[in-house]
């Protein structure tokens, strides 16, 4: 049934017509063959009973006077009926009185119980009649006939039914193909049109109307639906075109506005950098008039801090991304300035950086830049006294969702009697304040130099 469901409509209709025709003819043939079988069986039984009555009447005298020869002659008259295969006369005590068997036919054994009537087997039909004369029971006669004629007739009927079924099926198939072409042509056209519409999205196509019938009405409804879809599609296309033009204008305005804001933002960073650079230069100029060593150090540190912030704004306005700073390039520029500011030769102190490809926003870049400025400055000033050689490491890496900043040196180490968390040094106070601002943590290890590790979360 599932295979039938997936067949094309024309094949479904063809199979339906042919199978219905064959089923109807089979039922009619079965009814005819059944009727002929019942009728023929009744005819054979009636004819055999009549023959038994005649034979019994002719052999009554032989039974009354016990003359087997006359009874045998009476049974020999059955040679005129080729369908009769065996016959018997029985006495009134059910003993065989005379027998008859057609030549070439295997003799049969008479039944034990002699009950009047007829009986059918798979190969024979028999009829037994009691013989009476003047009210006296003289004996019985049993006549047996083969069913060859019956089976021959049945075979002819089945063969004729088969020929009728084949012929009618062929005629039904021929007629169905002629008729179904008329029925299926509108359906095929409708299916083909729907397939083309679905494949090409061309709603201007229309199905052909072949007649003013149900399929014609369906084609008109289908065409009306395509017309509505086409109109709606054209309307939507017009709206999309109109809306696209509006969005294009809006995008152009936004692009122009964004470009103006980018230029303005770069100008802001540039001006901030210049202003900070002016402040840093003023502080540097002021140091030339200061003789006090402690005051001079304060001014130099302030100048470096301002320069650290100015460098961030410089990187921002030179970058395509105005929101984040490439921190690897920034660290190299910042530390190079510190080496130049403190007049440190790379022959004595070597700088090593391990910075991943990290970009920080302004809220994190400024605190990190100031902390690196303070930590590297401390190493340059205090870790390598008396022209001692050594190395400074600056490392910035990702750690989970956050970052880890590490500044270390192999110098003389941090003084043991100074607590870096509660020191009165402005630089250390600034570092602790910036760590809190970043919601981070700071640790210091004072073995074989000084190592400061700062961890802070990402955005």
In tens, the pLDDT along 180-204 reads 777 777 777 878 888 888 888 777 8
In this prediction, residue 265 carries a pLDDT of 47
Most confidently predicted of 264-268, 270-274, 284-288, 375-379: 375-379
In this prediction, residue 299 carries a pLDDT of 64
- Tell whether the model's pLDDT for residue 269 goes beyond 60: no
Domain stops at, among 171, 190, 206: 171
What is the token pair recorded at 331?
């660290």
In this prediction, residue 453 carries a pLDDT of 92
The values of phi and psi at residue 147, to 5°, are -105, 20
Is residue 364 included in any domain, yes or no? Answer: yes
| Cβ-contact 385, 426 below 8 angstroms | no
Q: Count the domains in the chain.
A: 2
State how far the Cα of 343 lies from the Cα of 337, in Å rounded to an integer: 10
- Tell whether the model's pLDDT for residue 268 goes beyond 80: no
Residue 300 pLDDT class (50, 70, 90 cuts): low
Most confidently predicted of 19-28, 52-61, 164-173: 52-61
Is residue 201 included in any domain, yes or no? Answer: no
Q: Worst-scoring range by mean pLDDT, 111-125, 247-261, 284-298, 358-372?
A: 284-298
For 203, residues 6+ apart whose C-beta sits below 8 A from its C-beta are: 197, 226, 229, 230, 233
Domain that holds residue 422: 324-459
- Tell whether the model's pLDDT for residue 179 goes beyond 50: yes
This prediction has a pTM of: 0.42
In this prediction, residue 237 carries a pLDDT of 83
In tens, the pLDDT along 302-320 reads 666 666 666 655 554 455 5
For 308, residues 6+ apart whose C-beta sits below 8 A from its C-beta are: 334, 369, 370, 372, 373
| Cβ-contact 394, 362 below 8 angstroms | no
Report DSSP state, residue 207.
Answer: P
Supply the Cα-derived Rg of the chain in whole angstroms.
Answer: 61
Here the CATH number for the domain that contains residue 447 is 3.30.565.10
In this prediction, residue 316 carries a pLDDT of 46
Q: What is the mean pLDDT of residues 113-139?
A: 84
In this prediction, residue 317 carries a pLDDT of 46
State how far the Cα of 308 lies from the Cα of 341, in Å rounded to an integer: 12
State how far the Cα of 100 lies from the Cα of 102, in Å rounded to an integer: 7
Question: Parallel, antiparallel, or unpaired: how do β-strands 124-133 and 96-101 relate?
Answer: unpaired
In this prediction, residue 256 carries a pLDDT of 65
Is residue 165 included in any domain, yes or no? Answer: yes
State how far the Cα of 221 lies from the Cα of 111, in Å rounded to an integer: 81
| Cβ-contact 107, 101 below 8 angstroms | yes
In this prediction, residue 225 carries a pLDDT of 86
Domain stops at, among 171, 206, 226: 171
Is residue 432 included in any domain, yes or no? Answer: yes
In this prediction, residue 197 carries a pLDDT of 80
Is residue 190 included in any domain, yes or no? Answer: no
Q: What is the mean pLDDT of residues 169-183?
A: 74
In this prediction, residue 458 carries a pLDDT of 80
- Tell whether the model's pLDDT for residue 327 goes beyond 50: yes
Most confidently predicted of 36-40, 358-362, 397-401: 397-401
Is residue 252 included in any domain, yes or no? Answer: no
State how far the Cα of 378 lies from the Cα of 390, in Å rounded to an integer: 14
Domain stops at, among 125, 144, 171: 171
Is residue 200 included in any domain, yes or no? Answer: no
Q: Worst-scoring range by mean pLDDT, 52-56, 341-345, 408-412?
A: 341-345
- Collapse the DSSP code of 409 into the 3-class scheme (helix H, G, I; strand E, B; otherwise coil) and give the result: strand
| pLDDT averaged over every residue in the chain | 78
Percentages of the chain per state (helix, strand, coil), in multiples of 5: 60, 20, 20
Report DSSP state, residue 114.
Answer: -
Here the CATH number for the domain that contains residue 123 is 3.30.450.20
- Tell whether the model's pLDDT for residue 1 goes beyond 70: no
* Measured CA distances, 316 to 184, 261, 267, 320, 324 (Å): 75, 14, 10, 8, 7
State how far the Cα of 334 lies from the Cα of 308, in Å rounded to an integer: 6
- Tell whether the model's pLDDT for residue 88 goes beyond 50: yes
In this prediction, residue 245 carries a pLDDT of 85
Is residue 49 included in any domain, yes or no? Answer: yes
State how far the Cα of 326 lies from the Cα of 123, in Å rounded to an integer: 110
In this prediction, residue 379 carries a pLDDT of 83
State how far the Cα of 327 lies from the Cα of 398, in Å rounded to an integer: 12
């Amino acid at each position: 049934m599932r295979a039938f469901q997936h067949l094309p409509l024309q094949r479904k209709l063809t199979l339906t017509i042919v199978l219905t025709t064959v089923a109807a003819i089979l039922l009619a043939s079965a009814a005819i063959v059944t009727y002929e079988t019942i009728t023929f069986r009744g005819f054979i039984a009636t004819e055999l009973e009549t023959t038994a009555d005649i034979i019994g009447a002719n052999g009554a005298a032989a039974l009354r006077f016990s003359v087997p020869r006359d009874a045998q002659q009476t049974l020999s008259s059955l040679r005129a009926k080729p369908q009769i295969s065996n016959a018997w006369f029985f006495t009134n005590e059910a003993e065989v009185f005379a027998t008859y068997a057609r030549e070439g036919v295997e003799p049969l054994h008479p039944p034990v119980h002699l009950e009047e009537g007829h009986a059918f087997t798979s190969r024979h039909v028999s009829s037994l009649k009691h013989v009476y004369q003047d009210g006296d029971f003289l004996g019985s006669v049993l006549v047996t006939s083969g069913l060859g004629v019956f089976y021959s007739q049945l075979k002819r009927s089945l063969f004729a039914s088969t020929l009728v079924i084949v012929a009618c099926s062929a005629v039904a198939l021929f007629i169905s193909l002629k008729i179904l072409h008329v029925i299926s042509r509108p359906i095929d056209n409708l299916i083909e049109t729907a397939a083309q519409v679905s494949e090409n999205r061309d709603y201007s196509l229309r199905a052909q109307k072949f007649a003013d019938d149900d399929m014609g009405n369906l084609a008109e409804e289908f065409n009306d639906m395509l017309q509505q879809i086409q109109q709606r599609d054209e309307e939507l296309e017009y709206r999309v075109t109109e809306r696209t033009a509006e969005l294009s204008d809006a995008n152009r305005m936004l692009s122009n506005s964004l470009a103006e804001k980018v230029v303005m933002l770069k100008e802001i960073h540039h001006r901030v950098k210049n202003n900070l650079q002016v402040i840093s230069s003023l502080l540097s100029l002021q140091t030339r008039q200061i003789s006090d060593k402690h005051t001079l150090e304060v001014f130099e540190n302030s100048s470096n801090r301002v320069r650290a912030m100015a460098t961030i704004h410089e990187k921002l306005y030179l970058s395509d991304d105005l929101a984040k700073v490439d921190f690897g390039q920034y660290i190299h520029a910042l530390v190079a300035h510190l080496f130049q500011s403190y007049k440190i030769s790379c022959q004595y102190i070597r700088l090593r950086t391990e910075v991943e490809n990290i970009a920080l926003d302004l809220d994190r870049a400024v605190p990190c830049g100031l902390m690196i400025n303070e930590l590297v400055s401390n190493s340059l000033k205090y870790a390598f006294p008396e022209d001692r050689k050594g190395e400074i490491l600056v490392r910035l890496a990702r750690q989970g969702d956050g970052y880890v900043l590490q500044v270390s040196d192999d110098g003389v180490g941090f003084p043991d009697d100074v607590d870096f968390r509660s020191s009165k040094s402005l630089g250390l106070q600034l570092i602790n304040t910036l760590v809190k601002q970043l919601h981070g943590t700071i640790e210091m290890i004072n073995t074989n130099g000084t190592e400061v590790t700062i961890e802070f979360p990402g955005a």
